[in-house]
Amino acid sequence: MALLLGPYAEVVLHDAATDRVLAIWNPISGRVPGDPSLLGELDTIEPAGTDVYGPYEKSLADGRRLSCVSAVLRDPDGRSSAVLCVNLDRTPFEHAAAVLQSFAAPTAPPPPALFEQDWTENMRRIIGGFVRTSGRQLEKLSRPQRIAVLAELDSAGILDIRRSAPTVAAALKISRATLYSLLTELKTTRSQP
Amino acid sequence: MALLLGPYAEVVLHDAATDRVLAIWNPISGRVPGDPSLLGELDTIEPAGTDVYGPYEKSLADGRRLSCVSAVLRDPDGRSSAVLCVNLDRTPFEHAAAVLQSFAAPTAPPPPALFEQDWTENMRRIIGGFVRTSGRQLEKLSRPQRIAVLAELDSAGILDIRRSAPTVAAALKISRATLYSLLTELKTTRSQP
DNA sequence: GACATGCCTGGACTCTATGTCCAGACTGGA
DNA sequence: TCCAGTCTGGACATAGAGTCCAGGCATGTC
C-alpha cells in the first residue's frame, strides 16, 4: 500500500494491546515503531457495524490535513489485536483544487448555503477531536483542558447559538454552573495573560 | 471578450436608462436584446469607490452558478448610461475541483472550520439576494415578500443566533415588533396552508 | 483516620433577551 | 374623506443567561 500510494500516504500498524506503533511505512507524522499510538478511544468512535473506520480527518502540527482510514485486525478469538491505519496527505489535492476554484470564484465566500444547520454535530466533532488528540476520556479532562475545549467551542461560535448552553454542558458532561465558571476563567485569563 | 472567454462567458450590455438589455453575446441566460435587465439597485450595492462591481455570484434557474463582474459606463457628464456585465459559468471549474477534492476528502464535510463567524454577512447576503431577484427596494417590499425573506433567514438559521433579532429587524428596516408579527404569520401559515 | 484543598454541583437568585399585545400613526387606494 | 391594512414604540410577561453559594466528593498530606 505504501508503495502504491506514493509519497503522500503513511501506513501505520498499531498494537492494540500496548497502544504503540508496531511498524510504520513512509512516516509522514515522524513517528517511529515503539511510539505511543494515541488511538485513545478509537474503538468507540463509530460503534456501527464494521471494523473499518473512516475516512475521517486528522491534522498534523504543521497544518497539513490527512484523510485517514483505519481497520481493526482481530484475533481468531475475536478480540482486537492490531489496528492498521492509512493516512493520506490531502494538501497536494487541496492545492490543485484551490487553483481551479479560485480561477472563477468570487472573492465573496461561496454562499455558505445552509448555515451549519446542525451545530450539535459541529460541537460533537470539536469535542470528539479534542478527546482524541488529548488522549483522555471526556470525564477525566483537567480543568485547563476543559477550558481549552470551551475556547474552541467558543471561537467556533457554538456558544452564540440560542439555548446552546445546556446542550454544551451536557455534551461535556459538566453542569451548567461549571460551564459558566470555566467560561469566566477563560475570559479573564485571556484578557490578563 | 466573448470570443476570448470561449463558450463559458456571457457578455451583456445594459441600457441604464430603460433598464433593458441592449446587446448580448453568447447568451447563457437565454436573454435577448430588449429584455428587462433586473439590475435593480445595482448602483447601491457597493458604494465604495470605483464603477466596477464584483466579482459576485449569480445563479441560473438550472442551478449553474456564475461569477460576474459589472462595469458602469458613464456619459461625459458623469451620469451613468450603460452597464457592461460579464458572466462566467463556473460549473466546469467546480466540477474539476470537486473531482480533485473528492479524491482525498473524507465523507464527513471538511470541518466547517470557523462556523460562519460573521453571520451578519450571511444575513446581508440573503437579504441582498432577495432584493436583487425581486427587483424591489427593501423599504418597498410587500408583507408576503418580507415573510419570504424571513423564511429564508429562518431556514438559514440566522434567527437561532443569540441577540440576532434586533440586528435582523434593523437590516430589514422594520421594527422588532413587526419582525415577530411576520414571524408568527409565517409559522401559522406554514402549519395550516 | 483526620484534615485541608480544589473542583463540581444543584438550587436560588438577578438581569437581560425574547416574544406578545395594543393604541396610535401612517399609507395607498375607493 | 374615510377605510383597511400595515407598521411602530412602548409596556409588559416569561424564558433564558449568568452569578453566587452552601454543600459534596474526590485527592493528597500529615
Extract the C-alpha cell encoding A165: 448552553
Q: Which of B17, B79, B27 is nearest to B51 (CA)?
A: B79
Model confidence pLDDT, tens digit, residues A126-140: 888 888 777 777 888
Is A48 an 8 Å CB contact of chain B?
no
Can you tell me the mean pLDDT for A47-68?
61
pLDDT higher for A20 or A49? A20
Extract the C-alpha cell encoding B34: 430588449
pLDDT at B41: 38
Can you tell me the mean pLDDT for B44-68?
58
Query: Cβ contact (<8 Å) for A106 and B57?
Result: yes
pLDDT higher for B12 or A47? B12
User: Which amino acid, residue A150?
Assistant: L
Q: What percent of chain A has pLDDT over 90?
A: 19
Question: Which fold would CATH assign to domain A6-90?
Answer: Beta-Lactamase (3.30.450)
Model confidence pLDDT, tens digit, residues B9-44: 888 887 766 657 788 888 776 667 766 655 443 433
Kindly identify which residue of chain B lies nearest to residue A102, measuring between CA atoms. B93
pLDDT higher for A16 or A160? A160
Can you tell me the mean pLDDT for A48-52?
55
User: DSSP of A127-179, one letter per residue?
Assistant: HHHHHHHHTS-GGG--HHHHHHHHHHHHHTTGGGBTTHHHHHHHHHTS-HHHH
Mutation for B interface: A115, A154, A155, most B CBs within 10 A: A115
Query: Cβ contact (<8 Å) for A116 and B157?
Result: yes
Model confidence pLDDT, tens digit, residues B98-130: 666 666 555 444 444 344 457 887 888 788 878
Query: Cβ contact (<8 Å) for A55 and B110?
Result: no
Model confidence pLDDT, tens digit, residues A159-177: 999 999 999 999 899 999 9
Do you know the residue count of chain A?
Answer: 193
Say which of B103, B114, B161 has its CB closest to residue A162: B161
Q: How far does chain B reach from its first CA to its final CA, in angstroms?
A: 49
User: Is 60 exceeded by the pLDDT of residue B183?
Assistant: yes
- Measured from the CB, is A181 under 7 Å from any atom of strand C? yes
**In this structure, how many other beta carbons lie within 10 angstroms of the beta carbon of residue B175?**
12
d(CA B20, CA B14): 6
d(CA B74, CA B115): 41
pLDDT grade, residue A151 (50/70/90)? very high
Say which of A96, A108, A157 has its CB closest to residue B117: A157
CATH architecture of the region B6-93? 2-Layer Sandwich (3.30)
Domain segments of chain A: what residues?
Answer: 6-90, 114-191
d(CA A169, CA A185): 16
- The SS3 of residue B12 is strand
pLDDT at A78: 59
pLDDT higher for B37 or A24? A24
Q: Which helix (H) or strand (E) holds B133?
A: helix B119-134
pLDDT at B124: 81
Is B109 an 8 Å CB contact of chain A?
no
Q: Contact at 8 Å (CB) between B172 and B149?
A: yes
pLDDT higher for A56 or B122? B122
Is B101 an 8 Å CB contact of chain A?
yes
Model confidence pLDDT, tens digit, residues B138-167: 888 899 999 999 999 998 889 999 999 999
Model confidence pLDDT, tens digit, residues B72-105: 776 666 555 677 888 888 777 766 766 666 665 5
pLDDT at B181: 94
